[in-house]
Structure 1
Amino acid sequence: MERVMKLGAESPVVIFTKSSCCMSHTIETLIRNFGANPTVYELDELSNGIEMENALVELGGKPSVPAVFIGKEFVGGSNEVMSLNLRGNKLKQLLIRANAIWV
């Protein structure tokens, strides 16, 4: 879990995904549409991807991907990110506070 937390803190927005996951693509697109440039880790393309996926499940990711970190904090998966987006400007405010976007 330490490795996942360290990677999650390396950039204002970090998304753990799998190349075959349509929700991962959707969440990445949503965040990019705000003007953010997330760091994306495709777990199915990493040699230690299974271990990282297990760590994300331990953090509460159900399913494990997409898993989103904003401002060094684990936000959650697609349900949590979409909920933030639908509740006014909550997602945008998080992105601004994390210095992922400026406007």
Structure 2
Amino acid sequence: MERVTRLSSEKAVVIFTVSNCPMSHSVTSLFSSLGVGAAVHELDKDPRGRDMERDLARRLGRTPPVPAVFIGGKLVGSTDRIMSLHLSGKLVVMLKALTMGSRLVAAGAMWL
């Protein structure tokens, strides 16, 4: 769906969530604790949230599809993938190295 694609590339880090999902809260809190200024889109509060949820489920190959994390406009995954990257130390490296085009946006993604 075009809306997910557009929203997922508006900021360096974008997280699609549902407001009452504990895993969504955990992932959002993790990025916040890393100093990441992520855009968070709560699907249950968006009039087109159901359509976006179906699109994300198709992309991830699972239901429920939240949280769904995009970094640099690319789908990275859900809770298990994000936590695995974090525990291995690769998430911070990924955020610091993030570039969009020729412009370094890591400073926009997290406080370095």
Moved over 4 A (4+): none
User: Superposition pairs for residues 71-86 of structure 1, below 5 Å?
Assistant: 71-86=72-87
Structure 2 length normalisation: TM-score? 0.86
Report if the CA contact (8 A) 1:61-1:76 is conserved.
no
Q: What is aligned with 1:35? A: 35
Q: Check 1:14–1:61 CA distance in 2 against 1; reply closer, same or farther (3 A cut).
A: farther
The number of residue pairs the alignment matches comes to 102
Q: Which moved more, 1:75-84 or 1:93-102?
A: 93-102
Alpha-carbon separation, structure 1, partners of 2:38 and 2:50: 21
Unpaired runs of 5+ residues, structure 1, are none
Q: What is aligned with 1:92? A: 92
Q: CA RMSD in A?
A: 1.1
Identity score, percent: 45
Q: What is aligned with 1:11? A: 11
Alpha-carbon separation, structure 2, partners of 1:58 and 1:71: 20
